[in-house]
A = this chain, B = another copy of it.
Amino acid sequence: MDDAPELKALLDHYRAMPPVAAMDVDIAGADGDSLRLAAPLARHVNDKGCAFGGSLVSLMTLAGWGLVTLKARAAGVDADVFVADSQVNYLAPLFADLQAEARLADGGDWEAFASDLRGRGRASVNLAARVPLPGGGDACRCRARYVAIDRRPGAAARVGER
């Protein structure tokens, strides 16, 4: 999944969404287990001169969404990916450009995700995301559950639980 064409396709997918285009999101890195996104502070600055909390959550949500999308494709499934729920902790103000990194949360399992998605047409997975501070530590942390559903008509209806 660190394949350049896959990341290029993901970036095009991001930028086709008006709210994401407005965020000026870029892909900062991917290593097969994590995905990092970047966005300039100037687009996300609040009334206190630091990054707006909603922007931090949006960037973490997008990083997780992108990682799940890449993992679904790696499993051979073209899936719609949704965020289902999340818990966010805002820890410190960020006075620098934004980065958000998503990876599997403790106890998560990509093999089970791929197996469920291929076999049942849908799967869910828990991810952890963070927005690092330039000097160490995190500005914000998030844990979120994502659901992927096979796009092919009927694929996810086989078990009658869509």
The stretch among A1-9, A48-56, A101-109, A154-162 that forms the contact with chain B is A48-56
> A115 on the interface (CB 8 Å rule)?
no
Provided the pairs A54-B61, A57-B54 are in contact, do residues A19 and B45 lie with their beta carbons within 8 angstroms? Answer: yes
Task: Using CB atoms, name the residue of chain B closest to A39.
Answer: B19
Report yes or no: B46 in contact with A19, Cβ–Cβ below 8 A: yes
Copies in the complex: 2
Report yes or no: A84 in contact with B80, Cβ–Cβ below 8 A: no
Interface size on A, residues (CB 8 A): 36
Report yes or no: A13 in contact with B62, Cβ–Cβ below 8 A: no
- A54 proximity list for chain B (CB < 8 A): 19, 54, 57-59, 61-62
> A85 on the interface (CB 8 Å rule)?
yes
Fill in one digit per residue for A9-27: 1 if any B CB lies within 8 Å of its CB, else 0: 0000100111110110000
- A86 proximity list for chain B (CB < 8 A): 57, 87-88
Interface residues of A (CB under 8 A from B): 13, 16-20, 22-23, 42-48, 52-55, 57-59, 61-62, 65, 80, 82-90, 93
**Nearest 3 A/B pairs, CB to CB:** A54-B58, A22-B22, A53-B83
